[in-house]
Amino acid sequence: MAKKWGNTLRSWMIKNLELPQDVMMDLPRITMIGQIHIYIENHRGLLTFSDKELRLLLKQGQLLIKGKGFVIKTILPEEILLEGKIDQVMYINE
């Protein structure tokens, strides 16, 4: 019952207070410019990084980015800016 009430309250707040869904639902916000630049906010940490792959932990699941020539330009506790040639962005629900 408490979980259902929490979801109802969250939905009401998003609708009536005009709060962004990513903030209220604790989802990652991903901004991508072409295939060369990706900015991810609201992640839970860096799991793996190489010049071909980046894997981030999310509240629910993981985000996997594959490509070539990756360079982390900025990394903060909940934000990361990655540059390189991005070929794939996949959500892994584990």
**Average model confidence (pLDDT) for the chain?**
86
| pTM of structure | 0.75
Distance CA 79, CA 36 (A): 17
Confidence of residue 66 (pLDDT cuts 50, 70, 90): very high
Tell me if 27 sits within 8 A of 13, measured CB to CB: no
Question: Where do the domains of the chain lie?
Answer: 26-92
CB neighbour list of residue 83: distance below 8 Å, 6 or more residues apart: 36, 37, 70, 71, 73
For residue 72, CA distances in Å to 6, 24, 37, 90 come to 37, 27, 10, 18
Query: Quick one: fold of 26-92?
Result: Immunoglobulin-like (2.60.40)
pLDDT tens by residue, 1-44: 555 665 676 666 666 666 555 555 678 999 999 999 999 999 99
